[in-house]
C-alpha cells in the first residue's frame, strides 16, 4: 500500500510526464511546419516515449492500491525563435524532470517505501540517458551555428538518435 505522501508525489510525476509528452508534441509540430522533418520525427517519437513513462507510473500507482489521477496540464510553448532555442528548452525541461525524479526518490526513502524506491530506479537511469542525449544534441546545434547546410545534415541524422524506452 502506498502512503498518501508517496501517492501524491507519484501522481505529481504522472502530470509531469504527461506535460513532457505535450512539450515534445508541440516541438514536433513546430519542427514539421518549419520543414525540419527529421527533428519532427525525433520529437514525435519522444512524445510517445514520455506517454509511456506516464503510463508506467499510472499502472504502478494502481497496482499498489493507490489511485492514479489524471489532471489538466500546463500548456507547452508552441513556437520557438530557432531550433537552438527549442533544444535549449528541451534540455532545461529534462533537467527539471531529473530533479523531480530525485525528489521522488528522496520521498520514497523517507517514507521507507522500498518498492517505490526500486521502481524509480528505472526513471533515474532513463533521466541520465535523456539528459546526456539532450546535451549531445545541444552541442551539435551550437557547433552548427547559423550554417544552413549544417542544419540540413543535422535534420537528416537526428532521427537516428534515440533513447531506449
The single-letter DSSP state of residue 34 is T
Kindly state the smallest distance separating residue 73's Cβ from ligand OFO, in Å. Answer: 14
Stretch of 74-82, 113-121, 126-134, 144-152 contacting ligand OFO, by CB under 6 A: 126-134
Number of Cβ within 10 Å of residue 106's Cβ equals: 12
Under the binding rule (CB under 6 A), the answer on residue 94 touching ligand OFO is yes
- Mark 46-85 with x for binding to ligand OFO (rule: CB under 6 A) and - for no binding: ----x--x--------------------------------
Under the binding rule (CB under 6 A), the answer on residue 97 touching ligand OFO is yes
When the beta carbons of 133 and 151 are compared against ligand OFO, the nearer one is: 133
Under the binding rule (CB under 6 A), the answer on residue 100 touching ligand OFO is no
Kindly state the smallest distance separating residue 20's Cβ from ligand OFO, in Å. Answer: 5
Under the binding rule (CB under 6 A), the answer on residue 123 touching ligand OFO is yes
First to last CA, the chain: 27
CB-based contacts of 43: which residues, under 8 Å, 6+ apart?
A: 24, 25, 27, 28, 31
Residue nearest to ligand OFO (CB): 53
For the annotated binding site for Fe cation, the residues are 17, 50, 53, 94, 127
Q: Cα angle at 95 between 37 and 73, to 5 degrees? A: 70
Residue 76 near residue 28 (C-beta atoms within 8 A): no
* The one among 7, 17, 113, 155 contacting ligand OFO by CB under 6 A: 17
Cα gap 59→62, rounded to integer Å? 5
The label of the residue with cell 526513502 reads 109
For the annotated binding site, the residues are 17, 50, 53, 94, 127
Element (H, E) at 115: helix 114-144
Which residues contact ligand OFO by CB under 6 A? Answer: 17, 20, 50, 53, 94, 97, 123, 126-127, 130
Amino acid at each position: 500500500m502506498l502512503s498518501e505522501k508517496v501517492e501524491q508525489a507519484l501522481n505529481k510525476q504522472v502530470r509531469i510526464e504527461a506535460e513532457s509528452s505535450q512539450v515534445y508534441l508541440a516541438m514536433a509540430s513546430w519542427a514539421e511546419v518549419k520543414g525540419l522533418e527529421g527533428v519532427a520525427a525525433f520529437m514525435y517519437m519522444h512524445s510517445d516515449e514520455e506517454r509511456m513513462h506516464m503510463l508506467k507510473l499510472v499502472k504502478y500507482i494502481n497496482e499498489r492500491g493507490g489511485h492514479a489521477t489524471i489532471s489538466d496540464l500546463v500548456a507547452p510553448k508552441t513556437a520557438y525563435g530557432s531550433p537552438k532555442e527549442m533544444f535549449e528548452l528541451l534540455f532545461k525541461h529534462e533537467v527539471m524532470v531529473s530533479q523531480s525524479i530525485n525528489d521522488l526518490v528522496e520521498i520514497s526513502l523517507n517514507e521507507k517505501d522500498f518498492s517505490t524506491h526500486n521502481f524509480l530506479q528505472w526513471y533515474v537511469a532513463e533521466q541520465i540517458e535523456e539528459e546526456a542525449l539532450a546535451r549531445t544534441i545541444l552541442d551539435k546545434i551550437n557547433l552548427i551555428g547559423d550554417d544552413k547546410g549544417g542544419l540540413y545534415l543535422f535534420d537528416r541524422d537526428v532521427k537516428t538518435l534515440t533513447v531506449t524506452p
